[in-house]
Amino acid sequence: MAGSVSGMTVLADSVLGSIEGSPTPYHCTTTVARRLDGVGFQGIDAGDPLPSEPGRYYRIAGGSITAWVLDGAPDRFVVVGAHTDSPNLRVRSNADLTSAGWRQLGVEVYGGVLLNSWLDRDLGLAGRVTVRSTDGPAERLFCDARPILRIPQLAIHLDREIREAGLKLDPQGHVVPLWASGGAEPDFGAYLAGQVQTDPEDVLAWDVMAFDTQPPAVVGLRQDLVASARIDNQLSCFAGADALAGLASGPSLRPGSVAVLALFDHEEVGSQTATGADGSMLGHLLERIALAAGMDRRRYLDALSRSYVVSADGAHATHPNYVDKHEPNHQITVNEGVVVKRNANQRYASDAVSEGPFRQACADAGVPTQTYIHRNDLPCGSTIGPATAAALGVRTVDVGAPQLAMHSARELCGVEDIDHLRNALAAVWNAL
């Protein structure tokens, strides 16, 4: 991993390398699958019947992946959930633009982007392309890590008011990347055809997004911090994948417990999609696992009543320059442990009943924990936790690794908290 140092933990170095190699949700699921393949997991194609025998399995659906460890007849499901998507800029269908002689790409803003963080950065392109084939439309991934896009900020000489009024960006007009100066107008469809090695007329559709080409880096005087894109929430995805891989290659689960890792897409835009947490994907898969194991629906619903969900997402560390934006009695420090997130209005799913098992599992495993509560005078964000709890009717706790600059093109977290989160998730699977 570019920027790694001798003091990095093996896990942190692996997680950051995975983030660097996963510029989109589709690449993220592929990276997770490779990790699980290495410890004997078997991929199951969508629509294929699920195996009835004990084993280690996963299923990919677009930008989501669900993996599970089945050692015997299911009695309960212990689910760790996270999301693969991050706020970013996504290329429009009619992408080619020209303005003042510059060749540009039309983009849509995806999720709650901190737009200013995308200015004056070297951006690449990655995603999936659907192409025509003799067997019907086929999906191909690509990643162009060259710095081919840039969104230049307006010079201060042309915006004197910025000192007093601050930067104000119009997402329609001011956040349009350029990628060529003059000359013949590039054709984005032809560019994609070259990336996936097909003819331009065979490109049918695409989901393509910009990403920051700067690799993750270990920073700070003590080299105990990490700066990277997509910490929210690929850090949770890869920490969870490593915990599940270790579980699969180590001691058996508690009798009757099915360990499940569910990584969803589209959390940043509300999760109400076919591959999002606020949908039927996870519930249907859990029921299919139960039915394949010989259970009927009544026994499946009984198993749900004994089940448990950990929603792992980024948590807000206390910002030293904006301490007044944080609840004073619930300040959060990086490298000091996993954060349990509470909200009386259920923007997080944690309550006393769901929080207890997580805290006890962490305490027994020696993993430190902290508690986050949002200020009353600020609207609180949310996670996949409430959506999953509502869809399944299962005890759910919201947790995460603390970070700064959430939703920036480049976020910040602590090196030690990567291990803290991984160990906490493994502790829950081992304890429940």
Band of residue 250 on the pLDDT scale cut at 50, 70, 90: low
More reliable by pLDDT, 251 or 352: 352
362 backbone φψ class: left, alpha, beta (φ>0; ψ -120 to 50): alpha
Question: Does residue 3 surpass a pLDDT of 50?
Answer: no
> What confidence score (pLDDT) does residue 251 get?
58
Q: Is the confidence at residue 1, as pLDDT, over 60? A: no
3-state secondary structure labels for all residues of 25-78: HHHHHHHHHHHHHCCCCEECCCCCCCCCCCEEEEEEECCEEEEEEECCCCCEEE
Phi and psi, residue 286, nearest 5°: -60, -40
pLDDT grade, residue 252 (50/70/90)?
A: low
Q: Beta partners for 316?
A: 403
pLDDT of 249 higher than 70: no
Q: What is the pLDDT of residue 248?
A: 63
* Tokens at 360, concatenated: 């006890």
Task: List, in sequence order, every residue forming a beta bridge with 150; answer none if it has no partner.
Answer: 178
**Would you say residue 6 has pLDDT above 50?**
no
Section 128-148 average pLDDT: 97
Q: What digits encode the pLDDT tens for the residues 360-391?
A: 999 999 999 999 999 999 999 999 999 999 99
pLDDT level of residue 5 (50, 70, 90 thresholds): very low
pLDDT tens digits for range 162-184: 888 899 999 999 999 999 998 88
Q: Higher model confidence: residue 182 or residue 311? A: 311
pLDDT of residue 184: 83
Q: Is 55 exposed, middle or buried (0-12, 13-18, 19+ CB in 10 A)?
A: middle
List C-alpha distances in Å: 231 to 2, 37, 179, 226, 291: 16, 23, 27, 9, 36
